[in-house]
Structure 1
Amino acid sequence: MAQRRTRFGDRARYWFDSTLARGASALVGWMALLCLAVVVPASAVLVWTEPDAPASLAGRLAQVWRLTGETLRLGGATGTPLRVTMSVLLALVALLYVSTLVGLITTALTERLTALRRGRSTVLEKGHAVVLGWSEQIFTVVSELVAANTNQRRAAVAVLAERDKSAMEEALSTKVGPVGRTRLICRSGPTTDPSVLTLAGPATAGVVLVLPQDEPDADAEVVKTLLALGAALAGEEPRPPVVAAVRDDRYRLAARLAAGPGGVVLESDTITARLIVQAARRPGLSLVHQELLDFAGDEFYLVDEPILADRPFGDALLSYPTASVVGIMRGETPLLNPPPQTPLAPGDLLIVISRDDDSAWAADCAELVEEAAMASGPPTPVRPERVLVLGWNRRAPLVVEQLRRCARPGSVVDVVANGGEATVRQVTEADADSGTGLTLTLHHGDVTRPETLRRLNVHLYDSVIVLGQDPAPGQPPDDPDNRTLVTLLLLRQLEEATGRELPVVTELIDDRNRALAPISPGADVIVSGKLIGLLMAQISQNRHLATVFEELFSADGAGVRLRPAPDYVLPGLETSFATVVAAARLRGECAIGYRCHEDASTSPGHGVRINPPKAERRRWTVDDEVVVVGKD
């Protein structure tokens, strides 16, 4: 068969490409030929069209050479061949020098810009917040720090993580939104390297926050980061306060030792388990916690009020028209909800919930109390509970433990999980210390399959807790939410089929999935990363609140509770909130707000009202609830 003839254009292109492949010398040659091919004809046109051009051909050619040399910076001298050659040589040397200088400057600028894009320059801010590590908590922490810095002129937050600087900036810009006057500074590098930690300027920082990363060995990484931080701050006095979080209680002591004196280490899994159980026992409690921990709402403050010295604590409960008193800070020890007769000693600080630190002003509110509207009967008795747990993860044993601590005899906890040896062993170990009358039973099944849930009479349970599986190695950290959303869809189908609403408490990893969850607007959703991020942000602004929150979220301490309103005031009567506070004082509790049943499904507060004015009046119904700080 005859061979097809190659076209001239293809052969010319192939020859040109092969020439360029020889390297820089071929490229320079082609550029020189191209320039000459354009400049020489153009110069000739200019010379031949000039009225004063030399008459002779040699003169005109010399003029063309002079224009060509001036254009290409080749000297352009005329005369003897030696003179022309030296002129060209000097022009080439000058061109080489200038080109090399420009190349060096360009390279240096490029390297500097690359280093800046990689986040390798040192932060020179003072009093800024340093966030070490990257996880889903980063967006909550940064958002809250931005909200706390609203009234500050020159505030900054420096984030150091082993991620691309541009990617971090883009993610923060997308999820945090406008930051106002606060400057967000991102630096890239490992947080376990002391020399890299100095890039974030921890020595001059106002606070350092260490986040657990989305990795299996996240707690060990936190301990190592704290050790690196101590090495980076060696010899620096005073050191900035440190706030860190670990997941497993086994690493908490090591993290505290690494954080040094004054460091605060939170245990995220235990706190999350307690909040899940509290919300399961009293739906709506997660909304109260979020309101208390969010900088956008009312917050905890420490107030010095000398005029109340030597008076009983009970008097302080009705001494602030626009703030709610919940305890005493005596030195470094918080006394949440102490007995009303506890005297206030000189130097004691009051722990109050207020809109701002300057809105807690003292004034007697006792005249607002209407004793005739106060309930006098016994509190609503606590009965045995039936709890259904759908799914199993590393926090599930902690959830079971919290359920057992306050369980009444006859209480039942049924666990439905995809039967694996680890799950069976964990449930067996969780039930090993049973002695409180709590019955724990494991049912094998996939909670994402309809037939599994149809076998359960879910409406017989007082609460349903939906837990996501722990992410497998290499799996996205928020992937368990996909299974949780499927389970919630099946539960919603059961609700629609029976016409009865289920008291569901859902654990999510990513707060963005809350908008996707098929649940009622006021349902309880525990986003562990967000809650711990809110806690860390609050403590970073006031380190003395660490012990307050530790007491508030401890298993045996005085925590936030939701109680039936008829236990405090007579339903159907209109009375002031001061009356509710006085009624709670008689029961040894501190009333800090309420939840209106009629507004439970209305955004954004879903009926939750924290720290209402003592003079606020409303008509209380049987289904309303009072938010108090007290013990079970």
Structure 2
Amino acid sequence: MNSPVARRVGSAAPARCHSEDRGRQGALVRRRHASLRDRARYLFDTRLARSTGTLLGWLALGCLVVVVPVSILLVWMDPSAPRSLSGRLAAVWRTSAETLRLGVATGTPLRMLLSVLLGLIALLCVSTLTGVITTGLGDRLAELRRGRSTVLERDHVVVLGWSEHVFTVVAELTAARGGRGRGIVAVFADRDTAEMEKALAAVPAAGGARLVCRTGALTAPGALALVAPAVAESVLVLPAEDTDADLEVVRVLLALRSLTATETGPAVVAAVRDGRYLPAARLAAGPRGVVLETDTTTARLLVQSAWRPGLPAVLHDLLDVAGAEFHVIEAPGPAGPAFAETALRLESACLVGIMRADGSALLAPGPETVLGAGDRLVVVAHDDTAPAPADSRAHIDQTAMAPPGPGPQNPARVLLLGWNRRAPLIADILRRTARPGAVLDVVTDPDDGLVPGHVEGLAGTGWPGVTHHVGDLARPETLRALDLFGYDSVIVLGPDADAGSGRPDDRALLTLLMLRAQEEEAGRALPVVAELCDHRSRALAPLGPASDAVVRGELTALLMAQISLKPTLATVFEEVFSARGGGLGLRPAGLYVRPGREATFATVVAASLRRGECAIGYRAHLPRTAHRHDGIRLAPGKSERRVWAAEDEVVVLSAAPRASDAETDAETDAGGAEPDALPRMRRPPEADALPSDRGPEEDPPTGRPPARQ
């Protein structure tokens, strides 16, 4: 018995015993779970699931099982019940029939049978009528919940489409409409109404503004009529994130055009991603339409943020409706005063330009520029009320002004990490705004699929300082191989949202984390501006003290909301975001006032006018500031006094330099694009004329306003 075989058999026997025990235990458990209650429930469920007739039979049987015994108890417990058995059975019949509404006729069996038949017919009719009414009310309520009822409003705002822009747009519109009193913002998209209302529940309804959601096909004119766009104040068309989003925007604009009047309809603001679809979108939007290009707008903001660190926070404060904004107001007094003199007459508003009588905007003109008849003022103020004239020249301290000196220049070395569809636009804008000898180094991930020479070709033949490298940006050694602190600015890009990545910000966040580690290791700040897709990623971004994050759709959404509320500002924003240079910026306060001196803001305004700029606010240096937007103050009073530190910054708007005719002709002859020719937001009126309507000496429109002297 000590052989190996015996030992194996002996060891296998307990295993079989344990297996048999487990099998018996499992069988006991199965038998224990299959109780009488479970079996009865299973039998009942299988019977009811057979057919509707079976369900009705079981229902009738259940009623009889309950009603008849209870009726018998009621009759036998009634002291006034008949004494005879037949009388009591007749009383049981009457009680049961009254309960089941089957009639109470007694007598012969045929008479009782006819009474039951009549009761069943009456019950069937009443039940059918109740079912029809219930179904109709349920369908109507379901239709209302699905958002299929017509909006009976006037002068409301309509938002068409659903994308990441919708939350910013709705928040700005409800805040603006709430400030005017009770207003309506109608959102129409091909989504479930309950889902839209739930997603937009976090948007506060300011000042009594009400949010209405409707659903339907965006390209069907009959469905669009649910939100009454013909009588709306403005209509916004949002682009989606799929590959055919721009074509969908054009189709929506065509459907909208069939419902609204071309000349007297609502103001239309739309956005497309690709510039190839801008002409078609402008044609479909009509003369009252404004079309933005999201990719170009984002590229401009990224470049301007690289040139002028801290700009995204200033733009957010300037474009939302909560603080100071751009306004167009009437000029105080008759025409004739110079621009600088008028700027110092406004106490609570900052003058930044002139809106000519023909609708063109002239920003940051020369101090001696004269206001003509019909010209209006473009100001940055907290409301659109024309401020009372007040001479602020008495608040200017000439001794506190800083001596004239050169202004800051654009960076000479720029590093671009990552690649997406906006990268060629960024490279082109950098080429046109960089100073001579500037360098652009591009590092892309191997997954981007760029071949050698592709980046250099996209940047333009006129910029030989472009180099392209391929490296894994997730590896620290890739960044260590670069002279990071030798660059004046670093731009971080992530993949496109429609490139197949569920979270496109992950790669950008990973690159920012690697850059932040390099900053901490070297103990030096690195000027970085990163592009993000989701606003929720901003809180996760590991930004350094000199870093900024630009959310892709946020600026476009703010611009769309501003233009829908004030369509005349389209030309103003076009000049502000021009790629020719100029625009908004943060300048050291030492360029305008002597550090350590107490001076009024009127002194800063006068100093900026001498430099050909318009001061609209400042950013105070706070030692404990955690974010760049802390300390920003826009449109302060001219009489406000403070001690200016060397670390303070002044928010200014400068004019975009115009290329000379010789430079323009030279580049045009070389086959290149005109340096400052950019897509216009609004379709020029002369584009509606046929070629034969123009004179032989007229040139086609260049897409920019004429230069003013």
TM-score range, shorter chain: over 0.9
Matching residue of 2:442: 415
State which drifts further: 576-585 or 369-378: 369-378
Count of matched residue pairs: 624
Report deviation, 1:287: 1.2
Q: Give the match's secondary structure for 2:333.
A: helix
Matching residue of 1:559: 583
Deviations, residues 273-312 of structure 1 (Å, cap 9, x unaligned) = 1111111111101111111101111011111134152111
Q: Label 1:83 to 1:201 Cα distance change in 2 as closer, same or farther (>3 A).
A: same
Matching residue of 1:544: 568
Match of 2:116 among 88, 98, 102: 88
Deviations, residues 4-33 of structure 1 (Å, cap 9, x unaligned) = 999977776555444323311111111111
Q: Give the match's secondary structure for 2:235.
A: strand
**Which amino acid in structure 2 is aligned with residue 569 of structure 1?**
V
Match of 2:143 among 111, 115, 123: 115
In the alignment, structure 1 residue 194 sits paired with structure 2 residue 218: no
Counting only pairs closer than 5 Å after superposition, residues 243-392 of structure 1 correspond to structure 2 as 243-331=269-357, 332-358=359-385, 360-380=387-407, 382=409, 385-392=412-419
Report deviation, 1:361: 2.6
CA contact (8 A) 2:159 2:185 kept: yes
Match of 1:74 among 102, 119, 122: 102
Matching residue of 1:525: 549
Match of 2:212 among 185, 210, 214: 185
Q: Label 1:147 to 1:9 Cα distance change in 2 as closer, same or farther (>3 A).
A: closer
Deviations, residues 442-488 of structure 1 (Å, cap 9, x unaligned) = 11012222221122221111111111111345544xx2111111111
Q: Following the alignment from structure 1 to structure 2, what is the Cα–Cα distance between the partners of residues 514 and 257?
A: 36
State which drifts further: 121-130 or 596-605: 596-605
Q: Give the match's secondary structure for 1:496.
A: helix
Q: Following the alignment from structure 2 to structure 1, what is the Cα–Cα distance between the partners of residues 577 and 624?
A: 24
Match of 2:461 among 425, 429, 433: 433
Matching residue of 1:56: 84
Q: Label 1:253 to 1:237 Cα distance change in 2 as closer, same or farther (>3 A).
A: closer
Identity of aligned residues (%): 55
Q: Give the match's secondary structure for 1:452.
A: helix
CA contact (8 A) 2:238 2:270 kept: yes
Report deviation, 1:237: 7.2
CA contact (8 A) 1:522 1:601 kept: no
Q: Following the alignment from structure 2 to structure 1, what is the Cα–Cα distance between the partners of residues 187 and 40?
A: 55
Matching residue of 1:471: 497
Q: Give the match's secondary structure for 1:225.
A: helix
Report deviation, 1:623: 2.7
In the alignment, structure 1 residue 168 sits paired with structure 2 residue 196: yes
Report deviation, 1:575: 0.8
- Runs of 4+ in structure 1 off by over 6 angstroms are 3-11
Report deviation, 1:430: 2.0
Q: Label 1:8 to 1:497 Cα distance change in 2 as closer, same or farther (>3 A).
A: closer
Counting only pairs closer than 5 Å after superposition, residues 1-150 of structure 1 correspond to structure 2 as 15-150=43-178
Q: Following the alignment from structure 1 to structure 2, what is the Cα–Cα distance between the partners of residues 111 and 455?
A: 67
Report deviation, 1:421: 4.2
CA contact (8 A) 2:516 2:544 kept: no
Q: Label 1:11 to 1:288 Cα distance change in 2 as closer, same or farther (>3 A).
A: closer
CA contact (8 A) 1:507 1:528 kept: yes
**Which amino acid in structure 2 is aligned with residue 506 of structure 1?**
A
Deviations, residues 499-533 of structure 1 (Å, cap 9, x unaligned) = 11111101111111111111147742111201100
CA contact (8 A) 1:522 1:600 kept: no
Q: Label 1:410 to 1:10 Cα distance change in 2 as closer, same or farther (>3 A).
A: closer
In the alignment, structure 1 residue 396 sits paired with structure 2 residue 423: yes
Q: Give the match's secondary structure for 1:150.
A: helix
Q: Give the match's secondary structure for 1:46.
A: helix
State which drifts further: 237-246 or 162-171: 237-246
CA contact (8 A) 1:520 1:601 kept: no
Q: Following the alignment from structure 1 to structure 2, what is the Cα–Cα distance between the partners of residues 236 and 265?
A: 16
Q: Give the match's secondary structure for 2:494.
A: coil
Match of 1:626 among 650, 664, 675: 650
CA contact (8 A) 1:466 1:484 kept: yes
State which drifts further: 385-394 or 603-612: 603-612
Q: Which has the greater radius of gyration?
A: 2
- TM-score normalised according to structure 1 size: 0.94
Q: Label 1:205 to 1:389 Cα distance change in 2 as closer, same or farther (>3 A).
A: same
CA contact (8 A) 1:154 1:181 kept: yes
Deviations, residues 189-238 of structure 1 (Å, cap 9, x unaligned) = 221111111112111211100001111221111111101111233x6873
**Which amino acid in structure 1 is aligned with residue 51 of structure 2?**
G
Matching residue of 1:155: 183
Q: Following the alignment from structure 2 to structure 1, what is the Cα–Cα distance between the partners of residues 287 and 244?
A: 25
**Which amino acid in structure 2 is aligned with residue 66 of structure 1?**
R
Q: Label 1:596 to 1:53 Cα distance change in 2 as closer, same or farther (>3 A).
A: same
Deviations, residues 163-189 of structure 1 (Å, cap 9, x unaligned) = 111111111113x24444111111112
CA contact (8 A) 1:308 1:316 kept: no
Q: Give the match's secondary structure for 1:401.
A: helix
**Which amino acid in structure 1 is aligned with residue 144 of structure 2?**
L
Q: Label 1:39 to 1:11 Cα distance change in 2 as closer, same or farther (>3 A).
A: same
What is the root-mean-square deviation of aligned Cα atoms in Å?
Answer: 2.2
Q: Label 1:604 to 1:434 Cα distance change in 2 as closer, same or farther (>3 A).
A: closer
Q: Following the alignment from structure 2 to structure 1, what is the Cα–Cα distance between the partners of residues 163 and 104?
A: 65
Deviations, residues 367-389 of structure 1 (Å, cap 9, x unaligned) = 11111111223223637511111
CA contact (8 A) 1:508 1:514 kept: yes
Q: Label 1:603 to 1:469 Cα distance change in 2 as closer, same or farther (>3 A).
A: closer
**Which amino acid in structure 2 is aligned with residue 416 of structure 1?**
V
Q: Label 1:330 to 1:285 Cα distance change in 2 as closer, same or farther (>3 A).
A: same
Q: Following the alignment from structure 1 to structure 2, what is the Cα–Cα distance between the partners of residues 600 and 537?
A: 33
Q: Which runs of 5+ in 2 are unaligned?
A: 1-26, 657-709
Q: Following the alignment from structure 2 to structure 1, what is the Cα–Cα distance between the partners of residues 98 and 267?
A: 67
- TM-score normalised according to structure 2 size: 0.84
Deviations, residues 311-363 of structure 1 (Å, cap 9, x unaligned) = 11111110111110001111211111121212112221111110112263321
Q: Following the alignment from structure 2 to structure 1, what is the Cα–Cα distance between the partners of residues 169 and 453?
A: 36
Q: Following the alignment from structure 2 to structure 1, what is the Cα–Cα distance between the partners of residues 545 and 328?
A: 33
Q: Following the alignment from structure 1 to structure 2, what is the Cα–Cα distance between the partners of residues 369 and 87?
A: 104
CA contact (8 A) 1:273 1:399 kept: yes
State which drifts further: 499-508 or 62-71: 499-508
State which drifts further: 352-361 or 575-584: 352-361
State which drifts further: 17-26 or 527-536: 17-26
CA contact (8 A) 1:556 1:631 kept: no
Q: Following the alignment from structure 1 to structure 2, what is the Cα–Cα distance between the partners of residues 138 and 600?
A: 34
Matching residue of 1:506: 530
Report deviation, 1:587: 1.4
Q: Which runs of 5+ in 1 are unaligned?
A: none
Q: Following the alignment from structure 1 to structure 2, what is the Cα–Cα distance between the partners of residues 318 and 341?
A: 13
CA contact (8 A) 2:263 2:287 kept: no
Report deviation, 1:564: 2.3
Q: Following the alignment from structure 1 to structure 2, what is the Cα–Cα distance between the partners of residues 299 and 8?
A: 76
Q: Label 1:600 to 1:198 Cα distance change in 2 as closer, same or farther (>3 A).
A: farther
CA contact (8 A) 2:147 2:193 kept: yes
Report deviation, 1:245: 0.7
Q: Give the match's secondary structure for 2:178.
A: coil
Q: Label 1:275 to 1:11 Cα distance change in 2 as closer, same or farther (>3 A).
A: closer
